[in-house]
Structure 1
């Protein structure tokens, strides 16, 4: 009788384990169903740098976005790359309504002299009060040795007047004065005060990252709060902080010299929660800040160039502007997807592919290259259906044939990672693309909907309208698309390629 009870109990445990295993698998592989994309107006007569905007002579660094009178004002730090004489960085300005067509106003906030605190006009923020626009920005001069918070005003967002009387440095009772920058100003209706958060080094927690908090009733007179607004010992400094609210959730975006990340909270007083995937892109997209129009919120960052224009070159400061769309999951996590402008700019369908089926079980990459030459700029969409818990698979956006290296976006189910690197029949190689990584942990499924935007050497992959990974390609010269799989099975469906232009 006892043996029978044990046997029945063992059968019950096995059945229970099987049910739990199946339910976990079903939860892990919940299918994502994409929504229909909104199309907006695009002026197709303008073709230069239509998605990854860059100045023809210099480069775009930290973007300071602002939305006013139905258009975005994108101020940015202009890295002149030797075009301008001497030291220093000014703010330039682009305006746009669709993130495809831009109006370039050039320099709008000039750099100071070699003896001024703002020889380098570094990152800040824009706010409007009583029809006067205010910029609060970082003044940096390496010859002075400390950073200042400075101020300028305008009535039209284009012509700015500096306010040299408004200059303050870190309160050294609480903070070091060497790293004290990137002021972000917003009005807090709950406190009925303007708040300014500043990237700083709190003396009581050196080696950790802090955001100082100042408050004001009029934007002109600011009082420091003795305790930091935010402090973490996970990193040593936070750059380009940005704070906003969607629904019930507050979001704090920052960059940590590697990637742009975020935390979330139901209250400005915390606690702040680190999501499963804290990255908003990979290492190839930096110093991103956000702003919203009347409907949506967008993320504005830059994709760095590399020295000498080669894959193994040193990563530069500054590059091309790239805009993502931000949305919110039910649990408050942020999603990153392509903007409406990205879809709308590439509507000219130039290729529709047949269903592709690939299989491999011996650690090699089974590759299929599509025999169709593509333009230097295009949008690709496809559905990737995969099986195999250890499968590695992906897309090759600039391929020649299966025997030589091609650039590849690599989905790795064994590590739950999404990487960018070189792929050929025998191996993958990430050595020139250290840090171009995102995680599949919160979106791992059997079916992935992908969109890729390619413009010359710059590109971005979007997966299930939830994560993105941007990169840059220099060395390889292929003009075909390929797909691959290792240790699993891959089926590619709904494969389409669009060029820049209206639907025909």
Structure 2
């Protein structure tokens, strides 16, 4: 997990163990059992790092319960593992805390992963603690018969740090089992103590054991990173091995035909959305794969402020191209329910007109053309197809806009730069923007989420603007906006 707010000064004696007791209280009975796309728990609580897992038709979303944007227990987090499960991605069951803070020395039950082996569930995680007055992260694990009720194993922690690697940064174990040898493998987020390149010491430590007591450290599976490669994920899918990791909050992956590389860079990084943090994945029915992550909060709840730890849950569906490249889209079951499309009338402004098929056509070669709609609900789903008939500098929409498109969230598509901007965040290497592309937009509360062509997604947290205008625009080209539907979201 990211080291949010860990530089906040603290005094161990002021942590207040008696007041904090055994971690923040969480009541699963009051939490939603409906669609969890964009969900956050009730009770001034937040979703942190997510750890999806799948077995026997049940998709289990383990996630870090956050109560104070990582500031609990003197800035060490105070996190615990919560669990939400589903068989259809539509209805969910909320479980009590599955891994909690049980001892005063446990300052946070950090990110990890789950594996099922010989009729047991194994949850590996890092415990953040104070050792000799310094913050350390050390490895722990727990065992369960049902994936819900876990027993922490002793010694706890069972592993402190690997020789030659950081003691401060030693977390986020990704576990898998080699069924042939019976070996448990861990990929652990850390950094080399003396890297050849001083600013490229981030590494994933590779550890193996058959008895969970004696561990052998192998060559790292990933090295040379500019930061600690956090919250890794690792899976085999249709002949391709994928290694997923975080770098300064963004998620990247590499792929290979062999288990431990050599790794190759994909042609685009579909998991890399700046406001989708700690993207991890799990299988689902019929060969599908689902990504779970979280959308951070914003400092002071302002549009242009930075991230705060903890926020809302978010899901993506992964798809795989022939060359192994991953793409993302909305899981169809998790698109929020909406009402009938509204009958709104376009107002043409500059170099724009409605054609016989009721498409909005903007044709401008000397500047920017525009058209707009009024009385668009703040919470709605917008679907349309955009067809750039000529090479266009850029085109797009102004969402939640005022009457002048001055205060709004600009959704901008640039075919030449292959970028998509949503407010103050963007994604790169987006192919196909010079051809007809289908766009799906969900605006819900302070979130805007966009699917581009069913292959790339981008989300942003945008709390301030609430205008009811929707603007369409194009610059230096001929662009047709087709099949426009605006449907208000139904209440949860």
Q: Normalising TM by the smaller chain, what interval? A: 0.7 to 0.9
Q: Which residue of 1 aligns with 2:50?
A: 63
CA distance in 2, matches of 1:258, 1:387: 38
CA separation of 1:479 and 1:111: change in aligned 2, threshold 3 A: farther
Q: Which residue of 1 aligns with 2:289?
A: 297
- 1:192: Cα distance to partner? 5.1
CA distance in 2, matches of 1:214, 1:331: 30
- 1:397: Cα distance to partner? 3.0
CA separation of 1:356 and 1:77: change in aligned 2, threshold 3 A: same
SS at match of 1:349: coil
Q: Which residue of 2 aligns with 1:125?
A: 113
Contact 2:361 2:478 in 1 (8 A): yes
**5 Å matches for 1:149-188?**
149-188=139-178
Choose from 313, 327, 330 the match for 1:335.
Answer: 327
SS at match of 2:266: coil
Contact 1:169 1:177 in 2 (8 A): no
CA separation of 1:170 and 1:445: change in aligned 2, threshold 3 A: farther
Q: Which residue of 2 aligns with 1:79?
A: 66
Moved more, 132-141 or 444-453: 444-453
CA distance in 2, matches of 1:397, 1:73: 34
Q: Which residue of 2 aligns with 1:360?
A: 364
Are 1:267 and 2:253 matched, yes or no? no
- 1:418: Cα distance to partner? 0.8
Using structure 1 for the length normalisation, give the TM-score.
0.80
- 1:268: Cα distance to partner? 1.6
Q: Which residue of 2 aligns with 1:497?
A: 486
CA separation of 1:98 and 1:482: change in aligned 2, threshold 3 A: farther
Q: Which residue of 2 aligns with 1:43?
A: none
- 1:317: Cα distance to partner? 0.9
Using structure 2 for the length normalisation, give the TM-score.
0.82
Choose from 467, 475, 478 the match for 1:486.
Answer: 475
Contact 1:51 1:99 in 2 (8 A): no
Q: Which residue of 2 aligns with 1:449?
A: 438
CA separation of 1:463 and 1:196: change in aligned 2, threshold 3 A: same
CA distance in 2, matches of 1:283, 1:317: 13
**5 Å matches for 1:191-206?**
193-205=183-195
CA distance in 1, matches of 2:72, 2:275: 29
- 1:271: Cα distance to partner? 1.4
CA separation of 1:80 and 1:471: change in aligned 2, threshold 3 A: same
CA distance in 2, matches of 1:85, 1:195: 31
SS at match of 2:135: coil
Are 1:278 and 2:265 matched, yes or no? no
**5 Å matches for 1:171-250?**
171-189=161-179, 193-205=183-195, 207-218=200-211, 220-233=212-225, 235-250=226-241
The C-alpha deviation readout for 1:134-182, integer Å capped at 9, x for no partner, is: 1100101255421101011222222222224142345442312111110
Are 1:476 and 2:465 matched, yes or no? yes
Q: Which residue of 2 aligns with 1:53?
A: 39
Contact 2:158 2:213 in 1 (8 A): no
SS at match of 1:476: coil
**5 Å matches for 1:311-322?**
311-322=303-314
CA distance in 2, matches of 1:439, 1:113: 45
CA distance in 2, matches of 1:382, 1:167: 53
- 1:500: Cα distance to partner? 4.2
Q: Which residue of 2 aligns with 1:369?
A: 372
CA distance in 1, matches of 2:269, 2:487: 31
Q: Which residue of 2 aligns with 1:41?
A: none
Q: Which residue of 2 aligns with 1:16?
A: none
Q: Which residue of 2 aligns with 1:308?
A: 300
Are 1:400 and 2:389 matched, yes or no? no
SS at match of 1:350: coil
- 1:86: Cα distance to partner? 4.5
SS at match of 2:403: coil
CA distance in 2, matches of 1:318, 1:260: 16
- 1:263: Cα distance to partner? 0.8
- 1:352: Cα distance to partner? 6.3
SS at match of 2:342: strand
The C-alpha deviation readout for 1:398-429, integer Å capped at 9, x for no partner, is: 223234321121111232211122xxxxxxxx
SS at match of 2:207: strand
Q: Which has the larger radius of gyration?
A: 1
CA distance in 1, matches of 2:108, 2:33: 32
- 1:273: Cα distance to partner? 0.7
Structure 2 spans left out of the alignment, 5+ residues: 1-31, 345-357
Contact 2:53 2:61 in 1 (8 A): yes
CA distance in 2, matches of 1:226, 1:50: 39
Moved more, 66-75 or 264-273: 66-75
CA separation of 1:190 and 1:69: change in aligned 2, threshold 3 A: closer
Contact 2:418 2:431 in 1 (8 A): no
Contact 2:33 2:92 in 1 (8 A): no
